[in-house]
Structure 1
Amino acid sequence: MEFFQSQESLTAIQWILRAIIGFFFLLIVTRALGQRAISQLRPLDFAIALVIGNIIAHPLSDEHLGLKGSIITTTVLLALYLGGIYMILKFSWFRRLLSHAPITIVENGEILYKGLKKARISIDVLLEELRERKIEDVKKVALAIWEADGKLSVFLDPKYEPLTPSSMQMAAEPFNFPRTIIKEGKINYEVLNQVHKDEGWVVSNLENIYQTGVQDVLLATLDNKDILKVFLYK
C-alpha cells in the first residue's frame, strides 16, 4: 500500500493502482453527492464539485503527493456538503444565506432593469434565453424569473400560449409511450412479452414492411396501436 503515501518515485503498477483507487473513490463520492450536485449547480453544489475534482486530480499526476491526504480531505468535504444540504432543508435562514431569492426580470411584457442588475445578467443574455425558448418578442412574456440555480423560468401571456385540446374542449387520446423492441440489432424479449408479441411477429413485419432483418435495425419501437416504427443503420 506504499502508493498511498508520498514517494520519490512510483512504479508503473503503483501509478495504475493510484489511478484506479482515485477513480472509483471519486465515483463513490459523486454518487453520494447525488443528482442535485450534477444537474443544479447552486453555490454549495458548485463549490464542492469544483474543489473535489482538483483535490483528486493532483495526487494522480504528482508522485510526491500522497493519495491518503486527498481521500481524507474529500471525505471531510463530503461530510460538510451533506451537513450543508441538511441545514438548507431544515433552516430557511441558512437557505437564504447560500441561495438568493428568485428575481423577476420581465413582468407583463416590460423588462425590469433593476431585476437585470440584481441578477447580474445583460439584455443580450435575456434575449438569448428567450430565443432558446422560441420567444422572439419580450412583449409576449407575462413573467420571467431568474432562478437561484441560474435558469430562467418564462411564462407567456395566455393569449400567446399554444392551443391545446383542453383549451379547445376537445377530447384527447391517452398518453402513448412507444416501447423499444429492437435496439442495435438485438430484440428485447422482455418488452416483447409485455406487448404480447413474439419474435416471429417481429421478423415477419420487418420482412413484409421494410424488407430487412433484425440485424439491420438500429431502433424499432411499437406503440399501443401496434404501429411499428423502424430506424435502419445508415
Structure 2
Amino acid sequence: MPQQGERMGAVALSTVLRAVFGYYFLVLVVRVVGRRPGKQLTPFEFVLIFFLGGLMLTGIVANEMSLTNAVCQILAISVAHYILVWVRKKSPRVSRILDGTPLILMEGGFWRERTLHKMRISKPDVMAVGRDQGMKNFDEMGTVTLERNGEMSIVPAEGKGK
C-alpha cells in the first residue's frame, strides 16, 4: 500500500506534467490560430489569450478528466476564434465592431475634447507619447490619433518635424 508521501509526490508530478503539456499545447494553438506583434494585439485578442490560459489552468490543477475537457474547450475556442477572424477579414462592418476604428484626438492644433473624455485620455497622456517621439510641447503635434490597438500615433505639425 503506497504511503501518503508517495501519493502526494505522484500528484505533484502529475500536475507538473500537465502544466508542461498545457504550456506547449497553448504555444502550439496560439501559433496555429495566428499571431501579430505584441503592440498590435487588439483587446479582442487579449481576451482570447487570457481565456485560453484560464481554461488550461482548470485542466492543470484538477483531475485527468479536466485536462481532457480543457484541451477540448481550447480547441473549440480556437476554431471559433479562427472563424471569427475569417468573418472579420471578409466583413469590414464586423471588423469595425470587434476592433474599433482609429479616433482623432487632436488635429490642426485643436483638441477633440469629447473624444478625449470618452476614451478617458488626458492631455498629459498625449504629451507623454509626444515626448517619447522627441516633441517638447503640443505645438509640435499636428495630428494625434488613437489607433485601433490602443497606441497613439502623432504626426508632427507642418514645419515642426525633426
For residue 37 of structure 1, report the CA deviation from its aligned partner: 7.3
Higher-Rg structure is 1
- Measured in 2, the distance between the counterparts of 1:54 and 1:65 equals 16
Seen in structure 2, the aligned counterparts of structure 1 residues 28 and 39 have a Cα distance that, compared at 3 Å, is farther
Aligned to 2:75: 75
Q: Is 1:142 aligned to residue 142 of structure 2?
A: yes
Larger helix percent: 2
SS at match of 2:143: strand
Report the CA distance shift for 1:69/1:39 in structure 2 as closer, same or farther (over 3 A). farther
Task: Point out the structure with the larger strand share.
Answer: 1
Q: What are the Cα deviations for residues 73-131 of structure 1, in whole angstroms up to 9, with x where unaligned? A: 11111111111111111001111211222111111122221221233312232122212
Give the match for residue 45 of structure 1.
Answer: 45
Q: In the alignment, is the contact (CA less than 8 A) between 1:107 and 1:143 conserved in 2?
A: yes
Partner of 2:120: 120
TM (norm. structure 2) is: 0.84
Q: Distance in 2 between matches of 1:88 and 1:149?
A: 15
TM-score (structure 1 length as normaliser) = 0.60
Q: In structure 2, what is the equivalent of residue 90 of structure 1? A: 90
Letter of the structure 2 residue corresponding to residue 77 of structure 1: I
Work out the CA distance in 1 between the residues paired with 2:43 and 2:10.
37
The runs of 4+ residues in structure 1 deviating greater than 4 Å are none
Unaligned residue ranges in structure 2 (runs of 5+)? 1-8
Amino acid at match of 2:102: P
Q: Structure 1: where are the runs of 5+ without partners?
A: 1-8, 163-234
Task: Please report the RMSD computed on the Cα atoms of aligned residues, expressed in angstroms.
Answer: 2.3
Q: Which moved more, 1:91-100 or 1:69-78?
A: 91-100
CA shift in 2, pair 1:124/1:61, >3 Å: farther
> CA contact under 8 A between 2:58 and 2:66: conserved in structure 1?
no
The amino acid of 2:156's aligned partner reads L
